[in-house]
Amino acid sequence: MQSNEDKNLIVAKLDDGENLFESLENIIEKHEIRSGLILSGIGMLRNFVLGYYNGSEYQKKKFADPCELLSLQGSISTEGETVIHLHTSLADEKQNVIGGHLFEAEVCSLNEIVIRKLDDVVLSRRLNPATGLKELQIS
C-alpha cells in the first residue's frame, strides 16, 4: 500500500491480495482521518460481498470472480466505532455491471482510491431503531 496527501485529499494505491477494508483502516490511521469521504476507486476486486437493503435487513451475495471496479463512493466516520460506508459498481468480463452496498472485498491487481479528509465537518453514526440502520449524522 502506498498513499500520500495533497492538502486534504489522500491518494492511495492498494496492492493485489489486500483486504480493502483493512487497508482503508490503515489509511485512516496513517493520515489521522476523523471523518472523510471516498470520492473515487478504480482497479479490480475479487471475493467481494454486495448487499441490498430490503427495508428490514441486508440481503448479501458473494462474488468470487475478479471484476473491474468502476466506481466507489462513500463516507468514513470514526466517532465511537469506525464505519466505512461504501457503494460500488463493478463489471465482469462481458462488461455487464453489478453493484450494491459493499461489505467485503479483496483487491485484485491493484486499486486506486481517493479520499477527501474532513476537518470542519464531523461525521458520526446513530442507530435508527425503526430501521436498524446506523444513519449518518453531520455536525
* C-alpha cell belonging to residue 10: 489522500
Question: How many residues sit in the footprint of its own copies (CB under 8 A)?
Answer: 70
Angle formed at CA 102 by CA 137 and CA 113, multiple of 5 degrees:
85
Interaction residues for its own copies, span 60-79 (CB under 8 A): 61, 66, 68-75
Quote the least distance from Cβ 19 to its own copies, whole Å. Answer: 19
What are the angstrom distances between the C-alpha of 26 and each of 6, 31, 45, 60?
Answer: 18, 9, 18, 25
Any contact of residue 136 with its own copies (CB under 8 A)? Answer: yes
**Alpha-carbon torsion angle 83, 88, 93, 96, nearest 10:** 150
Instruction: Please report whether residue 53 would count as binding its own copies according to CB under 8 A.
Output: yes
Answer for which of 19, 34, 85, 103 binds its own copies (CB under 8 A) is 85
Q: Looking at residues 116 to 135 of the shown chain, list those that interact with its own copies (rule: CB under 8 A).
A: 116, 118-121, 123, 131, 133, 135
Integer Cα distance of 69 and 59 in angstroms: 21
Footprint of its own copies on this chain (CB under 8 A)?
2-9, 11-13, 37-44, 50-55, 59, 61, 66, 68-75, 85-101, 109-110, 112, 114, 116, 118-121, 123, 131, 133, 135-139
